[in-house]
Amino acid sequence: MSSSGNPSSSGGGGGPCGACKFLRRKCVAGCIFAPYFDSEQGAAHFAAVHKVFGASNVSKLLLHIPEHKRPDAVVSICFEAQARLRDPIYGCVSHIVSLQQQVVSLQTELSYLQAHLATLELPQPMAPVSSSGSLQALSITDLPTISPSLYDLSSFFEPVMSSTWAMQQQPRPSDHVFGVPSSSSIIGGGGELQALAREFIQGGQMPAQPSLGTGGSASTVIKRE
């Protein structure tokens, strides 16, 4: 994607933007794609966007979005397009389902652990310990470095999905796909969305496709907080 975000980079003396280069058309001044698709890597990214969404649909979409939000929109559109080309059946939905399963797994694990904690804290045969008593209550800050083995409570519970943690250990890909600008002025939100998009574009975590079942409503998959 273009790194400048400068409207003057569109058309004119700067040559065609990546989108117009791909479409083999004249890049006019004020081209809506020019700030986001530079003439080098932008053409490849636009190719994916065009194949999945179509140039006119993306243009209409961008026109309805405030200008300061368009860089983020382009990043997410490129991400979805790339995901769809990589997985023509599920696109990025497979990843959503996988993440949701991770959330459920973690919450299950957390519930087990909280229940276990409750059983540990329940029996209190002795009188409550006051702060001035001889027995001082331990707090986390009093502990020395806890050895990793103490975190392995899997023997207390049913075998927990180890893939939950294994998936977090995957190496992070390098971030040179989009020609990311050095400043974060184009992409809002501190670059988190961009980092996320870079990971997936590099083929980070796209697991096996589960069945979606019926209904494609977003509300049936996720509850927004």
Partner 1 sequence: MNPKRCAACKYLRRRCPKDCIFAPYFPPNDPAKFACIHRIYGAGNVSKMLQQLPDQTRAEAVESLCFEAKCRVDDPVYGCVGIIHLLQTQIQNAQNELAKTQAEVAVAQTKLSQTQNSDF
Binding site for partner 1 (CB under 8 A): 51-54, 56-57, 61, 64-65, 69, 72-73, 75-77, 79-80, 84, 88-96, 99-100, 102-103, 106-107, 109-110, 113-114, 116-117, 120-121, 126, 137-140, 143, 146, 150-151, 153, 168, 192-193, 196-197, 209, 211-218, 221-222, 224-225
DSSP letters of 160-203? P-THHHHGGGSPPPPS-SS---SSSSSS-GGGHHHHHHHHHHTT
User: For residues 11 and 46, which CB has a smaller minimum distance to partner 1 in the complex?
Assistant: 46
Residue type at 181 in one-letter notation: P
Which position has the token pair 């329940």?
A: 122
User: For residues 120 and 166, which CB has a smaller minimum distance to partner 1 in the complex?
Assistant: 120
Q: At its nearest, how many Å lie between partner 1 and the CB of residue 14?
A: 26
Of 8, 48, 47, 54, nearest to 31 (Cα)? 8
User: For residues 102 and 184, which CB has a smaller minimum distance to partner 1 in the complex?
Assistant: 102
User: For residues 37 and 90, which CB has a smaller minimum distance to partner 1 in the complex?
Assistant: 90
CA distance 47 to 65: 21
Q: Residues near 220 by Cβ (< 8 Å), separated by ≥ 6?
A: none
Q: At its nearest, how many Å lie between partner 1 and the CB of residue 166?
A: 13
Count Cβ atoms below 10 Å from residue 21 Cβ, excluding itself.
Answer: 20
Which position has the token pair 């207390």?
A: 156
Q: At its nearest, how many Å lie between partner 1 and the CB of residue 74?
A: 10
Q: At its nearest, how many Å lie between partner 1 and the CB of residue 37?
A: 17
User: For residues 30 and 54, which CB has a smaller minimum distance to partner 1 in the complex?
Assistant: 54
With beta carbons less than 8 A apart as the criterion, state whether 80 and 91 touch: yes
